[in-house]
Amino acid sequence: MILLFPLFILELIISIQMGISIGVGYSLLWILGSMFIGVVLIKNSHIALSSGADQIFTGKLSIQKFHNSALSYLAGSIFLFIPGVLSDTFGLILLIYTLYLHFIAKITPENRNNQFNTNKENDDVIDVEVISSDSDRLSKS
């Protein structure tokens, strides 16, 4: 809690300096635009999380990478929603990390030993159906 106060002061100083350098109108547009993007990302988070879950089931994304991706996506969206230049920077860094996990780290080959993969080929198992022929024998006697 004590560490949040210096972060708040630093956020305020950087935001005021940005407002002075680009102007109050553009600074206000920046804040409202980043808040809008943060709200849209939070509203559509269920889509991003479900696509990550689909990638887990197909073996293209490990559970650890999905956890990191989901956490960075939600934290990045929340940081974009918080007004300020420093928080927007943190949010963009986290969203770039999410994109890295979904697109660049996804290039790794699929894991065929995935516990959720239902398309496993197992040659050691023979699927048979046993039909009891006792009733046929009794009817012949």
Q: Which domain holds residue 60?
A: 36-111
DSSP 110: P
Residue 138 domain flag:
no
In a domain, 16, yes or no: no
Residue 95 is assigned to a structural domain of this protein: yes
Is residue 76 in some structural domain? yes
Task: Match 């770039």 to its residue by tokens.
Answer: 96
Residue 10 has pLDDT above 60, yes or no: yes
Residue 75 forms part of a structural domain: yes
- Domain contains 102: yes
pLDDT by residue (tens digit) across 99-122? 888 777 665 555 555 555 555 555
pTM, full prediction: 0.68
Is 85 inside a domain boundary?
Answer: yes
Domain count, the chain: 1
In the prediction, which pLDDT does 136 show?
55
Give the distance, in angstroms, between the CA of residue 129 and the centroid of all CA atoms in the same chain: 44
pLDDT tens profile 32-64: 999 999 999 999 988 888 888 888 888 777 788
pLDDT given for residue 43 in this prediction = 93
Question: Does any domain span residue 56?
Answer: yes
